[in-house]
Amino acid sequence: MPAFDSIVAFAIASLALLVIPGPAVLYVINRSISDGRSIALAGVAGLELGNFVHVVAATIGLSAVIAASATAFGIVKWIGAGYLVFIGLRTLVRKPQAMEAQTSSLSRGKSFTQGIIVNTFNPKVALFFLSFLPQFIDEKSGSAALQSLILGSLFVAIGLCTDGMYAFLASALRTTLLRGKSLPFVQRYVAGSVFIALGLIASTTRRA
């Protein structure tokens, strides 16, 4: 069991990192504005499940293997980057559907699945757990794996709150945008460009 002061310090540091806009936050904002609150929250659930994949990987040491192996890291990096670029290009070439306040162009299941993929194949998340999490593991406090699992689960819980907050705030603006002419532009060109940019950024990630 991690020491209480380690839990508090890790929670504060995690909160500071999670509120900074990154791939997960931008994904939630895009889903919130384009598809509404329920779809965005389904995406949030997928994102946190993707985060938990990294928690499990860190607990059993797979993150260290990925960071140590250029081949393994490259596979994760290019799958994640390729998926983001694919989503971006598909968004750019598709004409947005006419929407009403109670309709959505994306199902909850697809949003959930996309969220899982976005974070599972995000090499920055893996490197975060590899370089940041070990600083809070105390060998004197018992099993390192158990401490890693507890702290990682805390990270996921905090992420659920922060990403959920972004979903509620962004979706609150959706009705206003639906009344104007800006949403189709946001849906197609802004969202598509953001996903492509995220893919390109992810492709530049290097091993520590």
DSSP string across 97-146: PP--TT--SS-HHHHHHHHHHHHHT-HHHHHHHHHTGGGG--GGGS-HHH
Look at the pTM and tell me if it is higher than 0.95: no
Q: How many whole angstroms separate alpha carbon 48 and alpha carbon 100?
A: 29
Tokens of 34: 């384009």
Burial class (CB in 10 A: 0-12, 13-18, 19+), 115: buried
Walk along the chain (208 residues) and give the pLDDT tens digit of each residue.
Answer: 777 888 888 898 788 778 776 778 888 988 888 788 899 999 999 999 999 999 998 888 866 666 677 777 777 778 777 887 888 888 888 876 555 555 566 789 999 999 999 888 877 677 777 767 777 877 677 787 888 899 999 999 999 999 999 999 888 877 776 666 666 676 678 778 877 886 787 677 665 5
Mapped onto helix, strand or coil, the DSSP state of residue 184 is helix
CA-nearest of 145, 187, 185, 125 to 2 is 145
The percent of the chain in helix, strand and coil, each rounded to the nearest 5, is: 80, 0, 20
Mapped onto helix, strand or coil, the DSSP state of residue 181 is coil
> What counts of helices (H) and strands (E) characterise the chain?
11, 0
How does pLDDT run across 170-186, given as a tens digit for each residue?
Answer: 888 777 766 666 666 76
* Chain CA centroid to CA 130, Å: 17
